[in-house]
Structure 1
Amino acid sequence: MVKISALNSQQRLLQLAKSQLGSIRSVNPATASDAPEQQGNFSDKHHLLAARSGAASSAALTLAQRAERRLQMQRERQQYNLESIMTLALEYCTDQVSTQDVDPDWFQQFCELVLEISNKSMQQLWAKILAGEIASPGKFSLKTLHTLKRMSYKEALALQQAVNLSCKTRQDPSARIYFGYIRKPSLWRVLTGKSRAVLNLNQFGLSYPQILSLIDIGLLHSSEIESGELPAGQVLNWQYQQLHLNGTISSKGVVLQYYKYTASGAELLPLLSSQPNQAYISALKQLLTGIISFS
């Protein structure tokens, strides 16, 4: 094992790749002439897919030769994906340098998991993870890597929508998605029907099927979370994107409801750029006006 000295993040990544993989070639995924996607010039999509699988080989080749050609093309695609992600990771490397080295077992599993990642957006996400791990070894668990491996591009978009609705509080800095509240039953609330209020998150870009998919792959907890009864007079300090909200509980027996990220979900959140949803935060404030006095 080659000892990785105290270098900057890019040098450390290059040395890690050399010690574990032999080397990587600097790749520009958008222009690389040997990209598997650019081999051949077929106008018909079916012919293109057949070429990528190795099935559209010369008729002169035997069945065994065609199988060998398909396996060779697969290995080339995997190597191209790996090198593309390594090159992207170099761009995401920061000046932050840790005194610790990246766990070689972690890096080996990372390389195995990205071999079939060809979607460019997903490659960027994996590259950010590698750059983050170089800067701070141990930041991303192997469990998170395997969770991300299960994630489709569609599920990645769902996670992005969830990030756009995520808040934190000073009392608990873990991100969560607030959607409603419950008040302990009383005769007046039973008569008026005002014991519970919820937001339809679908109106703000996060549908219930998306929530279920994030739960299924282990990024959100499997059930809605309740805050526990909050006493009247308790001060809440929320941060939504760059907006700070301060409020005081004005009603007794209040319980806030939210979705909470798992440990893997929390590790992935900082990798995504969030877009504030003003309609969501305005609707949330209006929903909570009866129980929280905002300053």
Structure 2
Amino acid sequence: MVKVNSLSAQQRLLQLAKTQFGAGISTSKDIESTNNTQDQGQFSDKHQQLAARSGAIFNSASLNINQRAERRLQMQRERQQHNLERIMAQALEYCPESVSAQDVDPDWFQQFCDLILDISNTNMQHLWAKILAGEIATPGKFSLKTLHTLKRMSYKEAMALQQAANLSCRTRQDPSARIYFGYISRPSLWRLLTGRSRAVVNLNQFGLSYPQILSLMDIGLLHSSEIESGTLPAGQQLNWQYQQLSMNGTVCSKDVVLQYYKYTASGAELLPLLNAQPNQQYVEALKQLLVNIIRFAP
């Protein structure tokens, strides 16, 4: 017997929100209207603003240190509540029409809520909202390990992941995303004479610097070392999918090994949340690099 799923994704999210903080949630527009932004000023102004946000009070003779501490803790709780409600509201906008009949694991949801309390950056909040919407649609889609990895990620590292996503492609043989950057050929007399036994493309020219790659490795989104494919025999067919572009080619050189960076399980889970932008210059540079190794179809 097929279980009838009577709740929409948004209805499920509203139920989850109610179990977390005992009430419904406002839309992101409602929350945005209450979020007063502060104008940028000189250093002293910024210092005062940050101090106020932290709950520290200067030149206040009316409050003793215990009262100031209570005020700081109250401000922290209010800020965390604001972050929680804002991400919940944003998740409503990402909820799909169809969802699984399976409910979100309550332990997963509780840890999710605990992790987002101190997420104040708007762009990072959008990522967390997409994760919640995706988990409601397909429970089990995002592991707790991925949530804790995202918690450690700074906005700068999120931008590095975005740049990596822009250069990522998949193959028909292995759907896991990877970033190709070079090749190695086994030594032969001709290759020793010409010096063409190894070649790489500079990914920094296309927005992904080596320090960014190292940072993605450090937080566990890319494997900690470059990967080498198995030896590709001459005549082997390759089918790559780069964004919306299909790249089909034939290996035309013997004993070729391709080099690439590969995403970890957590990186692979986060990658679909990003809006990858194709980089045609990277595609052309990669084809030019491999022109003597792979014959691509026009």
Q: TM-score range by the shorter chain?
A: over 0.9
Task: Specify the alignment match of 1:19 in structure 2.
Answer: 19
Letter in 1 for 2:280: Q
* d(CA) in 2 for partners of 1:242, 1:293: 20
- Match for residue 271 of structure 2 among 269, 286, 291: 269
Give the secondary-structure state (helix, strand or coil) at the position aligned to 1:129: helix
Letter in 2 for 1:28: S
* d(CA) in 2 for partners of 1:194, 1:208: 23
| C-alpha displacement of 1:34 | 4.5
Aligned positions of 1:44-193 closer than 5 A: 44-56=45-57, 58-193=60-195
* d(CA) in 2 for partners of 1:216, 1:261: 12
Contact 2:87–2:128 (CA<8 Å) still a contact in 1? yes
Give the secondary-structure state (helix, strand or coil) at the position aligned to 1:244: strand
Deviates more, 1:16-25 or 1:169-178: 16-25
| C-alpha displacement of 1:40 | 11
| C-alpha displacement of 1:19 | 2.4
* d(CA) in 2 for partners of 1:234, 1:218: 32
Task: Specify the alignment match of 1:287 in structure 2.
Answer: 289
Contact 2:234–2:251 (CA<8 Å) still a contact in 1? yes
Using the aligned pairs only, state the percent identity: 76
| C-alpha displacement of 1:237 | 0.5
Letter in 1 for 2:101: T
Letter in 1 for 2:177: A
When residues 27 and 49 of structure 1 are mapped into structure 2, their CA distance, relative to the original with a 3 A threshold, is: farther
* d(CA) in 2 for partners of 1:12, 1:167: 34
| C-alpha displacement of 1:221 | 0.2
Task: Specify the alignment match of 1:247 in structure 2.
Answer: 249
- Match for residue 259 of structure 2 among 257, 260, 277: 257
When residues 260 and 14 of structure 1 are mapped into structure 2, their CA distance, relative to the original with a 3 A threshold, is: same
| C-alpha displacement of 1:39 | 8.8
| C-alpha displacement of 1:6 | 3.4
**Structure 1 unaligned runs (5+)?**
none
| C-alpha displacement of 1:188 | 1.4
| C-alpha displacement of 1:191 | 1.6
* d(CA) in 1 for partners of 2:29, 2:144: 26
* d(CA) in 1 for partners of 2:187, 2:143: 43
Contact 1:147–1:264 (CA<8 Å) still a contact in 2? yes
Letter in 1 for 2:283: I
Give the secondary-structure state (helix, strand or coil) at the position aligned to 2:258: strand
Contact 1:42–1:48 (CA<8 Å) still a contact in 2? no
| C-alpha displacement of 1:29 | 6.0
Give the secondary-structure state (helix, strand or coil) at the position aligned to 2:184: strand
Task: Specify the alignment match of 2:200 in structure 1.
Answer: 198
| C-alpha displacement of 1:25 | 2.9
| C-alpha displacement of 1:46 | 1.4
When residues 242 and 67 of structure 1 are mapped into structure 2, their CA distance, relative to the original with a 3 A threshold, is: same
Contact 1:24–1:83 (CA<8 Å) still a contact in 2? no
Deviates more, 1:50-59 or 1:9-18: 50-59
| C-alpha displacement of 1:48 | 1.1
* d(CA) in 1 for partners of 2:207, 2:276: 13
When residues 33 and 51 of structure 1 are mapped into structure 2, their CA distance, relative to the original with a 3 A threshold, is: farther
* d(CA) in 1 for partners of 2:223, 2:166: 18
**Structure 2 unaligned runs (5+)?**
none
Give the secondary-structure state (helix, strand or coil) at the position aligned to 1:236: strand
* d(CA) in 2 for partners of 1:161, 1:280: 12
When residues 76 and 196 of structure 1 are mapped into structure 2, their CA distance, relative to the original with a 3 A threshold, is: same
Output the TM-score relative to the length of structure 2. Answer: 0.93
| C-alpha displacement of 1:17 | 1.6
